[in-house]
Structure 1
């Protein structure tokens, strides 16, 4: 026989506990929903990555400047060290000459006391005593004065070399700091790209490829033809379309922005400096409206990016690690002015 007994009703304490537990579960679910932000979409990731690439490029140009300064200091230090070595040899010869004079004087009647004092004490201290020079012969005075001048020159050169070495240490530290900044920005950008699915990454690549193809076609429609060394530089840069963008590289197979422009003009037989900021000071500055193919074009208010004007409102530049060397509308960036080399 089936039982018709009514189920036992839960007491008030049990109801309160279950209600509180359910409320807590709902609250935790709500918090979890708030704490888990939506995954950024392809376009948002692209915008963030491009911003990181731009920050990395700013650091790259500072790195290039520090590297150029390091090479300059190393060259100057080498020249100073060579000068010091040669000067020390000349000083030794002068002292030998004076010693020969003293020996000859001794053989002919005894060495002059002042000359003996000069030879046996610190010359640099003794030479400052002008009264001692009055007791030497004219030839000996000339020899002593040459030694004095050489010693002072050597002291100045050694001091200058020491200062350059100190500057070099600071420059090397700056290089290390800038390199670390660049690597950090690029690593952050790659981390963002890795959040995309394989399909999203493929779509992003297809979009970049189509844009680059359209920009290339638009650049080839330019009616003004390049000529002279600007034309030769642009022609050289065109041979590097599709090359990789790598911070600090200046060719021949990979470039950063100022590395490409420097390399291109070198192929045209023209030497220009390494960074965007120094390249902006070379040649003749011209407004954007007067650009001709092969002119340098500088972008953004701090001038951290440069390309070659390719005609028809286009630039040929080393863009970023995703785009490499390609054509692009100058209006996509923030063109400031051009420079005609």
Structure 2
């Protein structure tokens, strides 16, 4: 089925353009794109400054993907820890109930003329000592034996759960430390990129923000950028993912964002495929393994396309050598050629 008609493009201009740019930059780092405007560095050419900013933004994106991974792992560790604590609470309640039952037996025996030595040992802090002694087991009734066996098993499982919870707590702490490191790295790289941009002349800053490819703007599904016809999607799910990505055009890049008002690169592809009922992992380096690899010569609309040797960037292929992606802070979601970055691989998820 055809995924798209020829998309019409509506460029942002005037107040709308200024508003979109301001929103995009707000998510990038503290300060604005035009900090230091009018103070271009006479010792650096625009090409060198652009290359330096590109490098810093790419490094920031690599740190962002590591941040995303650490954040996901921390959330998983927190969920697991909460589950273990809940289970430990349930088992503690059962253990207390079993001990209360033994207490009732002891009370009854006392009223009848004394407490059975076996029960006395059972109520001690070491019920295993009772069960280890065959002579005591023989003196206990079947009910006591079953109750004591249950207590021993609950004690064993409770100790195991507490040990697992301690391990998960240590893992969570480590993940939170890792998260803080990656957050700091992202912010430092973004701040450095902003510093480089501040050395550009105002016109160069505007040109860099708009990018060299299709100008940012919201397109519908009637016209493709540059007048190219978007290829048919191979199936309804791919068509839905592409439609979602088109709906995100013009929205700002914000590191760590997964929509619906802003995205980073893997957040956009995850959200697009989620709209089609397909669950993707959070990061570029896990998304590349979420389906089966396809060679560049066999790309189809809806495929995930990855870039750079560290697989630090991803876009959604829409056909004819084009993709929709969230480029970097200051550059909203847009259509771009896949040739503008070093190609690292592609994955088909449906």
1:322 Cα deviation from its structure 2 partner? 2.8
| Partners of 2:190 and 2:299 in 1: CA distance | 32
| Partners of 1:194 and 1:211 in 2: CA distance | 22
1:225 Cα deviation from its structure 2 partner? 3.8
**Aligned-residue RMSD, C-alpha:** 2.1
Aligned partner (choices 106, 111, 115) of residue 119 of structure 2? 115
Partner of 1:15: none
1:96 Cα deviation from its structure 2 partner? 1.0
Partner of 1:168: 172
Runs of 5+ consecutive residues of structure 1 not aligned to the other structure: 1-36
1:110 Cα deviation from its structure 2 partner? 2.9
1:340 Cα deviation from its structure 2 partner? 1.4
Does the CA-based 8 Å contact 1:219-1:327 persist in structure 2?
A: no
Aligned partner (choices 298, 302, 316) of residue 306 of structure 2? 298
TM-score of the superposed pair, with normalisation by structure 2: 0.81
Aligned pairs for 1:134-283 (under 5 A) are: 134-205=138-209, 208=212, 217-218=225-226, 220-225=228-233, 227-283=235-291
Say which structure is richer in helix: 1
Q: Does 1:129 align with 2:137?
A: no
1:228 Cα deviation from its structure 2 partner? 1.4
| Partners of 2:235 and 2:227 in 1: CA distance | 16
Does the CA-based 8 Å contact 2:304-2:347 persist in structure 1?
A: yes
- CA distance 1:127–1:326, shift in 2 (3 Å): farther
TM-score of the superposed pair, with normalisation by structure 1: 0.83
- CA distance 1:337–1:180, shift in 2 (3 Å): same
- CA distance 1:212–1:329, shift in 2 (3 Å): farther
1:115 Cα deviation from its structure 2 partner? 1.6
Does the CA-based 8 Å contact 1:124-1:151 persist in structure 2?
A: no
Does the CA-based 8 Å contact 2:266-2:282 persist in structure 1?
A: yes
| Partners of 2:287 and 2:211 in 1: CA distance | 32
Higher RCO, Cα 8 Å, sep 6+: 2
1:270 partner SS? coil
- CA distance 1:147–1:169, shift in 2 (3 Å): same
- Paired residue total: 303
- Higher-Rg member (1/2): 1
1:299 Cα deviation from its structure 2 partner? 1.4
Partner of 2:59: 55
1:211 Cα deviation from its structure 2 partner? 5.9
Does the CA-based 8 Å contact 2:255-2:264 persist in structure 1?
A: yes
2:158 partner SS? helix
| Partners of 1:219 and 1:276 in 2: CA distance | 30
